[in-house]
Copies of this chain bind each other. A is one copy, B any other.
């Protein structure tokens, strides 16, 4: 439960080497600080995102683009000196977007900027027409009785609040996940929501929706188009009639894959810390902030560690998960790679010391959150190293370490979180505007600095985040 392993570095005194287990190993801290400073001088993470997004563009789950990116990733891992590099494939049904179109038929004919939600079913060839039933909030839709929307197109215009930690998005995500199902239950033949974004530009924001028996075609409106529908409803020109068309669906039996590499611990190699991001992206942008940034940050952090003359005590493994965004259920769309990773390692879950993911864009890290029973002395060591990066300790225990950590967390693996500032994340996330131009290289360097330093401390320690009962 403390930092006990003194490490061998030039200039370490014999006195230190002979010291008993101590709460904050000065050498581990020194190395962590050196990793931090090295990253701040240029971590190379930006170049990884640039390479990835230039060479492969969008990388939707189950596409050749995702597969090619995975092959390239494995090559990079080897070139960076990672061990046990592997590409682990798994089958899935890939969701595909063809043509999509939503238009106002009356009272003011015009085409709207929309995008089908990931997982949506297709419309019939001639589209779906109906009168719009426009709701300002999701609750208004939920208040409508079963049957009330028969033959109509449900439109939910609730806005997503801006929040540093993404809580605003959390508050409106149920509209996207469940909204089409709830609208269908009430008789609706189509569903539109205001994009779950915090911007007011003409980008529509896709994202996964839950599909199942009886669900209906579902789309996101760009924020200006959502406002346009509201103005049209209130213009007193008569009912708003819409036509929806989408040639989309789970059309293709395919494969996705996780890309794995590690720096093997030299003392307790079976104790594994898992980090990573997801390699797949939505099809609209090139997945620079979601999640090119995350795969680059975590890999660049591990690369810095791999470049050290010494090895950490524990193994650090980076996983570039596949098919995070959307894939055929059950049980829910997405997270296919993370589920595959966890399912194939059920018997190794106990060896997983901790898991975390970088999947919240390219903003700077502002807080560290640890599991509830993290050792206070370890926390102190971590904050000694992270505070100069503008990071504070978030006393609320980490409930998870990112979407792809969920399946491991469900197996009892503790999660930590290096929380990124997501104030602007939903200005771009899941839109065509998610491209490399949205990234400030210095922010990625700060992320890598935090990850590399924190990972070194954790990998050099024997700290356990598990509840005492599990020990």
> Which residues of A come within 8 Å of B, CB atoms?
50, 53-58, 64-65, 99, 104, 107-111, 113, 200-203, 223-224, 227-228, 231-232, 235, 237, 285-286, 431-433, 435-437
Contact = CB atoms under 8 A, between A and B. Distances in A.
A54 B433 contact: no
B110 A286 contact: yes
B202 A56 contact: no
Given A202-B433, A432-B202, A231 B54 contact: yes
Nearest to A57: B110
A321 to B, nearest CB: 21
Copies held by the complex: 2
A231 B57 contact: no
Nearest to A103: B57
A432 B113 contact: yes
A54 B436 contact: no
Nearest to A203: B202
A59 to B, nearest CB: 10
A55 B202 contact: no
A237 B55 CA distance: 9
A435 B202 contact: yes
A431 B113 CA distance: 12
Contacts of A57: 104, 108-111, 228
Kindly list the 4 A-B residue pairs having the minimum CB-CB distance in the complex, ordered from nearest. A57-B110, A224-B435, A202-B432, A202-B433
A50 B224 CA distance: 12
Contacts of A237: 55
24 contacts: A50-B231, A54-B108, A54-B228, A54-B231, A55-B107, A55-B108, A57-B104, A57-B109, A57-B228, A58-B111, A65-B110, A200-B437, A201-B433, A201-B437, A202-B203, A202-B285, A202-B432, A202-B433, A224-B435, A224-B436, A224-B437, A227-B436, A228-B286, A228-B435
A104 B54 CA distance: 11
A54 B432 contact: no
A435 B228 CA distance: 10
Contacts of A232: 54
A232 B286 CA distance: 14
A260 B99 CA distance: 41
A54 B232 CA distance: 7
Given A58-B110, A202-B431, 14 more contacts: A54-B108, A54-B228, A54-B231, A54-B232, A55-B237, A56-B108, A57-B108, A57-B228, A202-B433, A202-B435, A223-B437, A224-B433, A224-B436, A227-B436
Contacts of A231: 50, 54
**Chain B CB within 10 Å — which of A104, A224, A231 has the most?**
A224
Contacts of A108: 54-57
Contacts of A107: 55
Contacts of A203: 202
